[in-house]
């Protein structure tokens, strides 16, 4: 299956415009208990539990009205990428987000990745000082969508629990993470990059036997934010070839670290993540 490149669509440009707007201005809505935008019912951080090694597990829970959705960490061909700020937290050394598998939607002919109704996003915290209490404070810019997308700033905080008893809702979300390609025994992907006017074009050969004709991959970089535009997807040589344009904020070519390339294959209900690629 080949998915040819199209000119940059209006949703793509709208996403860049919205990202710039969110960086410069306060969002139109602040998701607080006394003032919620249409479509957003609740935004909260769960207190979670303490792991045996001292790390903490919490979660962000977004509850949406019927017919509304919010986006995965990479929204797809249209949408708003979420941005998280944890700077107001106390005793937080590092934060890791564990994204459950999103659903694939068609938005006016453009493929998007989102969560309808609710997102429960597990948040793993490494305390700065082991054994001391942890307070988690979040300010995040996200998009919520029905027929159109609305940029929203959410603010939430919680004191993390000292209990060792796991929260079943969070463990259920952790069970829905994409599968790890290495754990499944799949070999490493191979990729080649070439500069283009506004970034890089990455061609990734991903070993994924028996992929369906409508399978595709989302390419991300762990070491820098980029907008990813799918150029072509095809089945070839017992695997999936994904060609993507990677455009950074300054819209210029850049040096690629292959270890930072993350490729998530969507093949129906099967979602598998590959970390890094070889030349």
Predicted pLDDT of residue 27 = 37
What gap in Å lies between CA 15 and CA 20, rounded to an integer? 9
Pairing of strands 69-76, 110-116: antiparallel
Q: What percent of the chain has pLDDT over 90?
A: 80
Tokens of 270: 């099967």
User: Is a pLDDT exceeding 50 seen at residue 93?
Assistant: yes
pTM for the complete prediction? 0.87
Residue 253 C-alpha from the chain's centroid? 23
Predicted pLDDT of residue 35 = 64
Region 190-215 average pLDDT? 96
Q: Is 179-278 in CATH node 2.60.40?
A: yes
What gap in Å lies between CA 167 and CA 149, rounded to an integer? 31
The predicted-structure confidence for 116-134, as pLDDT tens digits, reads as follows 999 999 999 999 999 999 9
């Amino acid at each position: 299956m080949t998915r040819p490149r199209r000119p940059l669509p209006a949703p793509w440009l709208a996403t860049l415009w919205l990202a710039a707007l969110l960086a410069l201005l306060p969002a139109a809505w602040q998701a607080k208990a006394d003032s919620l935008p249409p479509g957003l019912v609740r935004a909260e951080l769960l207190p979670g539990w303490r792991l045996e090694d001292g790390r903490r597990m919490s979660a962000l829970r977004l509850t949406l009205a019927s017919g509304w959705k919010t986006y995965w960490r990479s929204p797809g061909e249209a949408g708003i990428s979420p941005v998280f700020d944890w700077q107001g937290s106390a005793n937080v050394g590092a934060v890791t987000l564990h994204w459950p598998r999103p659903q694939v939607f068609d938005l006016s002919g453009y493929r998007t990745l989102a969560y309808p109704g609710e997102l429960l996003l597990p948040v793993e915290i490494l305390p700065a000082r082991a054994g001391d209490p942890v307070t988690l404070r979040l300010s995040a810019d996200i998009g919520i969508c029905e027929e159109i997308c609305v940029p929203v700033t959410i603010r939430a905080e919680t004191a993390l629990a000292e209990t060792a008893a796991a929260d079943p809702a969070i463990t259920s979300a952790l069970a829905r993470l994409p599968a790890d390609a290495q754990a499944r025994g799949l070999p490493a992907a191979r990729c080649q990059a070439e500069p283009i006017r506004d970034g890089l074009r990455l061609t990734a050969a991903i070993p994924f036997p028996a992929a369906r004709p409508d399978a595709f991959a989302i390419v991300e970089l762990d070491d820098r934010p980029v907008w990813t535009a799918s150029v072509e997807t095809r089945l070839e040589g017992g695997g999936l070839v994904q060609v993507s344009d990677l455009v950074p904020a300054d819209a210029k070519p850049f040096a690629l670290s292959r270890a930072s390339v993350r490729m998530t294959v969507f093949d129906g209900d099967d979602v598998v993540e590959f970390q890094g690629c070889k030349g």
